[in-house]
Amino acid sequence: MPGSGGGGVLVLAGTPIGDPADAPPRLVAELSGADVVAAEDTRRLRRLTQALGAEVRGRVVSYFEGNEAGRTPELVEALAGGARVVLVTDAGMPSVSDPGYRLVAAAVERGIRVTAVPGPSAVLTALAVSGLPVDRFCFEGFAPRKPGERLARLREVAADRRTLVYFEAPHRIADTLAAMAEVFGPDRRAAVCRELTKTYEEVRRGPLAELARWAAEGVRGEITVVVEGAAPAEPGGLDPAELVRRVRAREEAGEARKEAIAAVAAEAGVRKREVFDAVVAAKHAPPAAG
């Protein structure tokens, strides 16, 4: 059971994703008044505070993926003792594809108050400028690095009708877009948002296959990808024979049956079981009369 937690407060402080002028005024006040500032990169924190004219009077410690597990207990004890701990990452909101979740969970478990300083968000900014539907969306973070795992993860959401938002590294963006074109279909609309709010901001919109060809030439900078959700299945859908034909075509191309069934189900907007049943029925159907 969570304890009383003491008088400490954990402040998750959103930081600019590019332009320091986007920082909220409250960020300066929180950084100046913190007992402890835990930063993903203390050098970036120093540059940010210089740009904002903020003076950090409290203790500054590093808090990144490599030391997150070891440093969390230390910060929780400081919080339990009444400290105001401000957590910042390199850009955006802590714990959203950045360090922070572990500390938040530990603080909540101890009954420590957790609050936030809202700030710029690459997810929402990219979504807003993408030109794609924004009424329902799903943030998928970074796609897996290994090709097989990446394809499997994409297949899980291929039939999702919500707009999908991803982060990606520049050296992997071409492969990820090519995988998306393979799983979601080459004509699925998307937007590649690069260097948002920075001097060389660029938003490239188009079908996934076209974007994959563009990215193959090389892309630099921080990247957020927004992908259109799946179209609703047409009434009646594809007939079983067509489902079987598509599965067989993928198998002949070297794809395993399980993956082929999942991909065809996503393309057709039907349940995997429906495709599986069609394949099994075709396998046991009597041969056509000569």
Contact call for residues 95 and 12 (beta carbons, < 8 A): yes
SS3 278: helix
189 lies in the same domain as 276: no
Q: Is residue 160 part of a domain?
A: yes
Asked if pLDDT for residue 234 goes beyond 70, the answer is no
Give the CATH number of the domain where residue 191 resides.
Answer: 3.30.950.10
The pLDDT tens digits for 87-131 are 999 999 999 888 999 999 999 999 999 999 998 999 999 999 999
What does each C-alpha distance from 134 to 123, 175, 213, 252 come to in angstroms?
11, 26, 26, 38
The pLDDT tens digits for 199-221 are 999 999 999 999 999 999 999 99
Beta strands 137-142 and 202-207, pairing class: unpaired
Q: Is residue 233 part of a domain?
A: no
Q: Is residue 74 part of a domain?
A: yes
Q: Is residue 234 part of a domain?
A: no
The domain boundary, picked from 103, 120, 137, lies at 120
127 lies in the same domain as 76: no
80 lies in the same domain as 139: no
Token pair 């630099």 is found at: 220
- Of 276 and 290, more confident: 276
131 lies in the same domain as 50: no
262 lies in the same domain as 191: no
Report how many domains make up the chain: 3
pLDDT of residue 1: 32
Q: In what order do the strands lie in the sheet with 113-117?
A: 59-62, 36-39, 84-88, 9-13, 113-117
Q: Is residue 289 part of a domain?
A: no
Joined tokens for residue 36: 């402890």
Asked if pLDDT for residue 3 goes beyond 80, the answer is no
- Helix, strand, coil: what percent of the chain each, to 5? 40, 20, 40
The length of the chain is 290
Contact call for residues 55 and 49 (beta carbons, < 8 A): yes
Asked if pLDDT for residue 289 goes beyond 70, the answer is no
Average model confidence (pLDDT) across the chain: 91
Joined tokens for residue 235: 């009434």
Count the Cβ atoms, other than its own, within 10 Å of residue 179.
Answer: 21
Range 226-254 average pLDDT? 82
Q: Is residue 136 part of a domain?
A: yes
How many Å apart are CA 130 and CA 189, to the nearest integer?
10
31 lies in the same domain as 99: yes
How many Å apart are CA 247 and CA 30, to the nearest integer?
57
The domain boundary, picked from 98, 120, 142, lies at 120
150 lies in the same domain as 216: yes
104 lies in the same domain as 22: yes
Give the CATH number of the domain where residue 116 resides.
Answer: 3.40.1010.10
Q: Is residue 64 part of a domain?
A: yes
Per the structure, the complete domain to which residue 196 belongs is given by: 123-227
Joined tokens for residue 39: 């930063």
pLDDT of residue 114: 97
110 lies in the same domain as 163: no
Asked if pLDDT for residue 4 goes beyond 50, the answer is no
pLDDT of residue 255: 83
16 lies in the same domain as 104: yes
66 lies in the same domain as 127: no
Q: Is residue 3 part of a domain?
A: no
106 lies in the same domain as 88: yes
Contact call for residues 157 and 138 (beta carbons, < 8 A): yes
What does each C-alpha distance from 257 to 149, 150, 155, 156, 241 come to in angstroms?
16, 17, 14, 16, 16
Joined tokens for residue 146: 């290994």
SS3 227: strand
The domain boundary, picked from 120, 150, 181, lies at 120
